[in-house]
Amino acid sequence: MTTDKPDWIRLQKALAIEAEQGFSDLVGKQYRFSEFLTLTFGKFPTALPSTERLRWQELATQFASYPNLEREGRQNLVANTRRYLYQLQQQQEDKGNQEDTGTRGHGEREQGDKGTRGGHLRAEVPSVEQSVRRQGDAGNVNKSFSAFSKSQIVAEVSRTLAPKLDQKLKDLPEIGLRKAEKLARLGLYTVRDLLFYYPRDHIDYARQVNICELQAGETVTIVAKVKSCNCFTSPKNKKLTILELLLRDNTGRLKISRFFAGTRFSSRAWQESLKRRYPVGSIVAACGLVKESKYGLTLEDPELEVLAHPGDTIDSLTIGRVVPIYALTEGVGADLVRQAVIAALAAVVHLKDPLPSGLREKYGLMELKDAIANIHFPPDSDTLQPARRRLVFDEFFYLQLGLLQRQHRAKQIQTSAILAPQGQLLERFYEILPFQLTNAQKRVINDILNDLQKSVPMNRLVQGDVGSGKTVVAVVAILAAIQSGYQAALMAPTEVLAEQHYRKLVSWFNLLHLPVELLTGSTKTVKRREIHAQLETGELPLLVGTHALIQNPVNFHRLGLVVIDEQHRFGVEQRARLQQKGEQPHVLTMTATPIPRTLALTIHGDLDVSQIDELPPGRQKIQTTALTSQQRQNAYDLIRREVAQGRQAYVILPLVEESEKLDLRSAVEEYKKLQESVFPEFRVGLLHGRMSSADKDEAISKFRDNETQILVSTTVVEVGVDVPNATVMLIENAERFGLSQLHQLRGRVGRGAAQSYCLLMSSSRSPDAQQRLKVLEQSQDGFFISEMDMRFRGPGEVLGTRQSGVPDFTLASLVEDEEVLMLARQAAEKIIQIDATIERWYLMKEELKYRYERLMGGAILT
């Protein structure tokens, strides 16, 4: 409901009388003073600018709580309101004069629209209770006062005036159709969308300092007096207007500049009007990033607001605040999003918290509505942190709840094969092993055999560092399936790795008199048909292969176990299709890429995880050294010395052929150079991903048989190539690789008894690149390296691909928020223990359905 225009005289008179009578909340003929002001500010005058509606609403709420304020609080509210009304009345009269005389130009309108730039937007960011929008008429509000005590008026006003969560943004008067269309480019259509559109970062301008305390690199706010003001067109660029202010406080002087690009700002009239906003002697609040300039320290692109006096309240959305930074897109500015969020913020009163109060108290979590309000516009950094913590907890909690619920459901399935943990096959296998199993291998084997004895399908991930002996563990599981009358399948992501597994398995299975076959994309048609036939009859107990295993012609007679190596390199559907080749087979997944604990919980939260955290005895530490391009000859000397002693070496490069865009050494060019110029006395081989399968096999076989002493290769050798005689790994352009990948490559050497070396060649002078390579120099612990890799590059890159199933969190960081993730996991486990269906918590169940599907994109990860 609106009125024609504010009754300035009546309002000011009421405020003046209340001040004269000692702020006693005077009783009038119809209302108390506080009730009269609440009703008055509950109606929007038609002449009221849209930018002032939030402040108007805020005053309605503040005066509703007036009876509960101490005398000092009442005095401040009345004084601030009187000053605000006076300034607003002056602005309205100035605007009327400008419109009458036609002196206000396009450029000034542009400046005024920005609000925070010129200090015209006089709207404080409201609190949860303060940020409300008028809905209904004065009669409805008046009725609410009779239904509640005065101490409950604030809550009632908030609920009555706040927009609904499902309300369309175009229906909010502060937004309207035009702005709503722009916000739709960010996927924002409703009030709820805006509330949950979290800032990607915050800038803290809340810290107010003196000029003498300024330090480059900080974001601050200062309040100072204008000593001089100049606005002019740049002599070097006629389309650039510069505003220069010289500010001074009791501690020093500061020169700041603002720049306006565009011919509309070049008119002398506009420049003079801008100068009038900052007259000499006026008090200005300015905020920005402190930077060095040729004049000394200054504020970069500062926000400015003129104050009535040094202690005046700063009304800007930016100055003196912790400012939210939102993800934007073309045509959608930061001020538009901030003002839209403020318009929607009152709706938090409608939010119902899905987390029970007991759970919130146990984990020290802020209530949801307060967290939402304070993630957008916190009063200070100290309030921002608990708000963020609550919302990060929610992101982790609902993911873990979904994963654990899925795990619980899977364990209700009782249709998997029960496999024997003991038998002649396993006994014979242990006898033919030429080495003793480590304690870590024995522990993991025990985990697996316990799983296989249950009718619930096993779903276990085995993590192990390079060379820790995961394959032996997998063979034990495979033999347990075979001796129980079932078949097994082992799928690897590359032909090189599948071939490596096949060779190792053949050497063991021949001694056990068991057949095993290899199926890849390069398997001949005749052989392929033979394998298909043997699988269907059950003659073939084990099939090793690549993606070829999931093709339609591949049908198992009785598949009881699926082993997937480097499982994160397969898509969700590919893994699922292999499992569908049998009736709920047991699943064992393996990875030689150690995954940080937080990442493992996030993408494998529904799996049982075992770690082989011990290397076989006798392995020597690989000497790792980071080298510059000037030290290349040292690397070549080491290779020459090792090869002369009968050893072999790898030279790894990131590219196959020269790229015009990247100044990197290519595998093909390097191969020619090494063979012809550097090591003509040795035989050099070449291996890369573009070669045919036959050529790859030939290159690997020659290197394995020591027919070539030096193998130039791309990262195709990262996993699967096992040549114990190789003792040197030279990695060119090492800064181009992730730490986990470098660790994997390093693991190709050190597989024999001789001392091995890894040389990380880098031409980068970047401190970050050098720091990353030092991690490899100092540690050979794959789990520590993966943690560091995630800190440097992020979780998606650690797994080798951005499409690796890592959930897309809005706020949560797997690097920074490990403690919150662990608490969320703990809380989710307790909820599942009490009621795995979550039926008793309806709101939590609905939130889980919405969040989990959205976070996971509807995908089943494992």
- Banded pLDDT at 644 (limits 50, 70, 90): very high
Higher pLDDT among residues 146 and 7, named by residue:
7
Please give the Cα distance from 842 to 531 (Å, whole number). Answer: 52
Please give the Cα distance from 741 to 760 (Å, whole number). Answer: 12
pLDDT over 80 (residue 790) = no
pLDDT over 90 (residue 417) = no
Q: What is the pLDDT of residue 760?
A: 93
Q: Do 652 and 761 contact (CB within 8 A), yes or no?
A: no
Share of the chain above pLDDT 90, in %: 24
- For residues 620-624, give the mean pLDDT: 87
pLDDT over 80 (residue 145) = no
Please give the Cα distance from 403 to 397 (Å, whole number). Answer: 10
In our burial notation (b when 16+ CB lie closer than 10 A, e otherwise), range 579-608 reads bebbebbbbbbbbbbbbbbbbbbbbbbbbe
- Banded pLDDT at 710 (limits 50, 70, 90): very high
In our burial notation (b when 16+ CB lie closer than 10 A, e otherwise), range 192-231 reads bbbbebbbeebbbbbeebebeebeeeebbbbbbebeebeb
Q: What is the pLDDT of residue 572?
A: 58
Pairing mode of beta strands 459-464, 608-612: parallel
Q: What is the pLDDT of residue 142?
A: 36
Higher pLDDT among residues 465 and 658, named by residue:
465
- For residues 358-378, give the mean pLDDT: 92
Give CA angle at 846 (840, 851), nearest 5°: 130
- Is 202-325 a domain of CATH 2.40.50.140? yes
Please give the structure tokens belonging to residue 74. 């009442």
pLDDT over 70 (residue 643) = yes
pTM (2 d.p.)? 0.62
Using a 10 angstrom Cβ sphere, with 0-12 exposed, 13-18 middle and 19 or more buried, the burial of residue 512 is middle
Q: What is the pLDDT of residue 353?
A: 93
DSSP-derived letter for residue 380 is S
Please give the Cα distance from 92 to 65 (Å, whole number). Answer: 28
pLDDT over 60 (residue 799) = no
- Banded pLDDT at 804 (limits 50, 70, 90): very low
pLDDT over 90 (residue 386) = yes
Q: What is the pLDDT of residue 635?
A: 93
Give CA angle at 44 (60, 178), nearest 5°: 120
Q: Of all helices (H) and strands (E), which one includes residue 760?
A: strand 757-761
Contacts of 543 (CB under 8 A, 6+ apart): 487, 488, 489, 490, 516, 517, 519, 531, 535, 549, 554, 556
pLDDT digit string, tens, across residues 99-144 = 544 433 333 333 333 333 333 333 345 444 444 433 333 333 333 3
Q: Do 603 and 442 contact (CB within 8 A), yes or no?
A: no
DSSP secondary structure letters along 469-518: -HHHHHHHHHHHHHHTT-EEEEE-SSHHHHHHHHHHHHHHHHHTT--EEE
pLDDT over 60 (residue 7) = yes
Share of the chain above pLDDT 70, in %: 81
Where does 257-333 have alpha helices with state H? Answer: 268-277
Q: What is the pLDDT of residue 168?
A: 92
pLDDT over 60 (residue 447) = yes
Q: What are phi and psi of 253, to 5 degrees?
A: -120, 155
Longest dimension (CA), the chain: 110
Contacts of 448 (CB under 8 A, 6+ apart): 458, 460, 462, 473, 476, 477, 480, 588, 610
Q: Which of 14-28, 105-119, 651-665, 817-831 has the lowest mean pLDDT?
A: 105-119
- What is the three-class DSSP state of 669? helix
Number of Cβ atoms within 10 Å of the Cβ of 329: 9
According to CATH, the superfamily of the domain at 424-453+469-591 is P-loop containing nucleotide triphosphate hydrolases (3.40.50.300)
Q: What is the pLDDT of residue 546?
A: 87
Higher pLDDT among residues 789 and 217, named by residue:
217
Mean pLDDT, the chain, whole residue set: 80
- Banded pLDDT at 824 (limits 50, 70, 90): very high
Quick one: how far is CA 357 from the chain centroid?
A: 28
pLDDT over 60 (residue 147) = no
Q: Do 247 and 222 contact (CB within 8 A), yes or no?
A: yes
Higher pLDDT among residues 620 and 799, named by residue:
620
pLDDT over 60 (residue 257) = yes
Please give the Cα distance from 803 to 796 (Å, whole number). Answer: 7
In our burial notation (b when 16+ CB lie closer than 10 A, e otherwise), range 111-150 reads bbeebbbbbbbbbbbbbbbbbbbbbeeeeebeebbeeeeb
pLDDT over 60 (residue 149) = no
- Is 623-779 a domain of CATH 3.30.2350.10? no
DSSP-derived letter for residue 375 is H
Q: What is the pLDDT of residue 567?
A: 65
Name, of 133-147, 184-198, 327-341, 791-805, the range with top average pLDDT.
184-198
Question: E strands within 122-213?
Answer: 201-204
Please give the structure tokens belonging to residue 57. 């609403």
Please give the Cα distance from 243 to 257 (Å, whole number). Answer: 5
Using a 10 angstrom Cβ sphere, with 0-12 exposed, 13-18 middle and 19 or more buried, the burial of residue 85 is middle
Please give the Cα distance from 178 to 160 (Å, whole number). Answer: 26
Q: What is the pLDDT of residue 117?
A: 32
Q: Of all helices (H) and strands (E), which one includes residue 258?
A: strand 252-261
- CA separation, residue 815 to residues 595, 690, 794 (Å): 12, 36, 8
Same fold, 424-453+469-591 and 623-779: yes
Q: Do 338 and 346 contact (CB within 8 A), yes or no?
A: no
Q: Of all helices (H) and strands (E), which one includes residue 739?
A: helix 739-746
Please give the Cα distance from 720 to 705 (Å, whole number). Answer: 16
pLDDT over 60 (residue 462) = yes
Pairing mode of beta strands 586-591, 559-565: parallel
**Tokens 């926000």, located at residue:** 303
Please give the Cα distance from 275 to 241 (Å, whole number). Answer: 12
Higher pLDDT among residues 157 and 444, named by residue:
444
Where does 580-722 have alpha helices with state H? Answer: 597-603, 632-644, 667-673, 693-704
Q: What is the pLDDT of residue 570?
A: 66
Going from N- to C-terminal start, the domains of the chain cover 2-162, 202-325, 424-453+469-591, 623-779
Contacts of 35 (CB under 8 A, 6+ apart): 145
DSSP-derived letter for residue 263 is G
**Tokens 């993590």, located at residue:** 463
Please give the Cα distance from 625 to 774 (Å, whole number). Answer: 8
- Banded pLDDT at 579 (limits 50, 70, 90): confident
DSSP secondary structure letters along 519-553: E-TTS-HHHHHHHHHHHHHT---EEEESGGGGSTT
Reading phi first (left if > 0) and then psi (alpha if -120 to 50, else beta), residue 584 is in left
Give CA angle at 671 (666, 673), nearest 5°: 95
Q: Whats the size of the chain, residue-wise?
A: 862
DSSP-derived letter for residue 751 is -
Using a 10 angstrom Cβ sphere, with 0-12 exposed, 13-18 middle and 19 or more buried, the burial of residue 794 is middle
Q: What is the pLDDT of residue 435?
A: 83
Q: Which of 156-170, 326-340, 621-635 has the lowest mean pLDDT?
A: 156-170
Q: Do 422 and 450 contact (CB within 8 A), yes or no?
A: no
Q: Which of 280-284, 308-312, 329-333 has the lowest mean pLDDT?
A: 308-312
Q: What is the pLDDT of residue 148?
A: 39
Contacts of 99 (CB under 8 A, 6+ apart): none
DSSP-derived letter for residue 346 is G
Q: What is the pLDDT of residue 827?
A: 94
